[in-house]
Amino acid sequence: MSSQAIGVFDSGLGGLTAVKQLRAIMPHENIVYFGDTGRVPYGNRSAATISRYAKQDARFLLSHNVKMVIAACGTVSSTVLDLGQVLPVPYINVIAPTALAAVNATKNGRIGVIGTRATIGSGAYKKEIERLDSGVTVIQRECPLFVPIVEEGFISPDDEIARLSVERYLCYIKAHGVDTIILGCTHYPLLKPVIGQYVGADVKLIDSGKETAIYASKLLESRGLLNDSRNTGECSFFVSDRTEDFTSTASIFLNSNIGENVERVDIWNY
């Protein structure tokens, strides 16, 4: 058993949806979260830049003696394929557990994938789905406006900006008759009510943060690394830009107030 924290990083706030799921599934675990708010978004950057940023983010988490690193970022997960090879602790990205959940969920063999430009451009989800089941048809769509829409709080099914954006991006996927859609960015679960309203109740929406948290729990248990404390775990939050902006928006992702428990770090030092 280990009381060391689980390290989670993301390009900004989206990874907090994974933190929320980790806290629900493993309430006794301590968590260190880093959001690279000073360099967000990653989705429009080159692969070389994303790789450099991700490795700095991971090194920061390792400086806090974490027992696991989770890339709760679809962009990093799909483009930085060698990250796990350079880390001394177990590493998880969102691709494999999410793709597996989608393959298990589909009934008609038609899966939609939505994500940032970098995630969709990498084809990582498509490759992993087809590796798991070569008979599945994958329809992909990049949705670059979804991240800023979520971070501005435009997430209600009644919000015209959210509703029109979802219709604009998902009409192509909906027209292909998918019965399962991967929310391939950890921001996107906050748009689940809007997306669900548009595509209909019969379409299964796969939350990458939730599936990754489930997989992390199983991996920690298999390696004897779960925290055996009966106390509720603590969460520490770090960002690379203004803490005030993070604090005010984090409550939307976590459904709870994190107070003053946020520190700014100079990520260029790592």
**DSSP codes, 116-159:** -HHHHHHTHHHHHHHHH-TT-EEEEEE-TTHHHHHHTT---TT-
pLDDT band at residue 106 using 50, 70 and 90 as cut-offs = very high
Given a cut of 90, whether residue 16 has pLDDT beyond it is: yes
Q: Are 20 and 209 in contact (CB under 8 A)?
A: yes
95-208 is classed CATH 3.40.50.1860: yes
Indicate the CATH number for domain 6-93+210-269.
Answer: 3.40.50.1860
pLDDT at 244 (0 to 100): 86
Q: Where are the domains of the chain?
A: 6-93+210-269, 95-208
Same fold, 6-93+210-269 and 95-208: yes
Q: Which two tokens stand for residue 256?
A: 């709870």
- The strand pair at 235-239 and 110-115 is best described as unpaired
Which one, of 52, 43, 188, 58, lies nearest residue 114 by Cα? 188
Residue tagged active-site, from 143, 171, 185, 235: 185
Q: Is 185 one of the annotated active-site residues of the chain? A: yes
Tell me: the pLDDT tens digits for 157-175? 999 999 999 999 999 999 9
Average pLDDT, integer, range 195-220: 96
pLDDT band at residue 224 using 50, 70 and 90 as cut-offs = very high
Instruction: Please provide the average confidence, as pLDDT, over all residues in the chain.
Output: 94
pLDDT band at residue 44 using 50, 70 and 90 as cut-offs = confident
pLDDT band at residue 31 using 50, 70 and 90 as cut-offs = very high
3-state SS class at 31: strand
Strand (E) or helix (H) holding 21: helix 16-25
Beta bridge partners of 10: 35
Amino acid at residue number 233: G
pLDDT at 124 (0 to 100): 94
pLDDT at 114 (0 to 100): 97
Beta bridge partners of 93: 71
Length of the chain: 270
Q: How far is CA 144 from CA 83, 115, 165, in A?
A: 24, 7, 10
The residues near 169 (Cβ < 8 Å, ≥ 6 apart) are 114, 141, 142, 143, 145, 146
Beta bridge partners of 107: none
pLDDT at 256 (0 to 100): 83
Q: Are 195 and 205 in contact (CB under 8 A)?
A: yes
The sign of the dihedral angle between the CA atoms of 4, 5, 6, 11 is: negative
Instruction: Specify the pTM.
Output: 0.90
| Secondary structure E strands in the chain | 6-10, 31-35, 68-71, 91-93, 110-115, 137-142, 180-183, 204-207, 235-239, 262-264
